[in-house]
Amino acid sequence: MGTASDRPTTLVTGANRGLGLETSVQLRAKGFRVILTSRDEKKGTAAVRGLDPDGGDALYHQLDISDRASISSVAKDLPALVPRLDLLVNNAGIGSWGADRRASVRTIATNYFGSRDVTDALLPFIAEGGRIVMVSSGLGELSYMGRDLRPRFEDPSLNRPALDSLVNSYLSDLEKGEAKSVGWPSAYSVSKVAMNALTRILARELAPRKISINSVCPGWVRTDMGGPGANRSVEVGARSIVLGAMLPEDATGGFYRDGKRIPW
């Protein structure tokens, strides 16, 4: 497998349990040195011990992706941990499907803005030819959006300020109690639609550096979020994420499940 310094390196967010931890296990089996990050330091360090008892090719760093100071701390410490990143897996996320406004705002702040900010902070460390995987969801398909909203998200000229403005318009409609009447789905769906849109934008921006980025749907998985009735095991869901990290070099800006491109 080579020494730690010459192995490809990945950083996985939300890696102390569930999909994030299993994705880390599978990537390690493929030869990656893994940096696991999570909000819960105790569970995160325990996950590293379970993943790699010898401590050679798995590292841990605390990271709350909804906290910019926490993101800055990871970016500051990263050069002392590894020489570069070859793969970033934005897995951390929370769910909100009900009418609770505070929970909806937290979901957007974490799943969209948090993943966006982590990516921006770590991009300087991603090597040319590196990869980014955004862990999305089938609930991020445009079909969940109201008819008038869909073309605004799928506009090929959509840029980052315009996307941020769209997401903020959802938050404004939510505050006014008009989100449903305007055609917005659940906060979780909005966050994942926005993540998929960001993936397409970043694919254009990162093309000169030959960094590929794709969104991946792991399917409905039996995790704390997915619940015990989900039809996929954590191992199968994580395999979809890993396959998304192993796509051909010219595959970028797409939406995938089990290594196959799916409609957005």
Active-site residues: which are they? 188
Q: Transcribe the chain into DSSP letters.
A: ---GGGS-EEEESS-SSHHHHHHHHHHHHTT-EEEEEES-HHHHHHHHHHH-TT-SSEEEEE--TT-HHHHHHHHHHHHHH-S-EEEEEE-------SS-HHHHHHHHIIIIIIHHHHHHHHGGGEEEEEEEEEE--GGGSGGGS-TTTHHHHH-TT--HHHHHHHHHHHHHHHHTT-HHHHT---HHHHHHHHHHHHHHHHHHHHGGGT-EEEEE---SBSSTTT-TT-SB-HHHHHHHHHHHHTS-TT--S-EEETTEE---
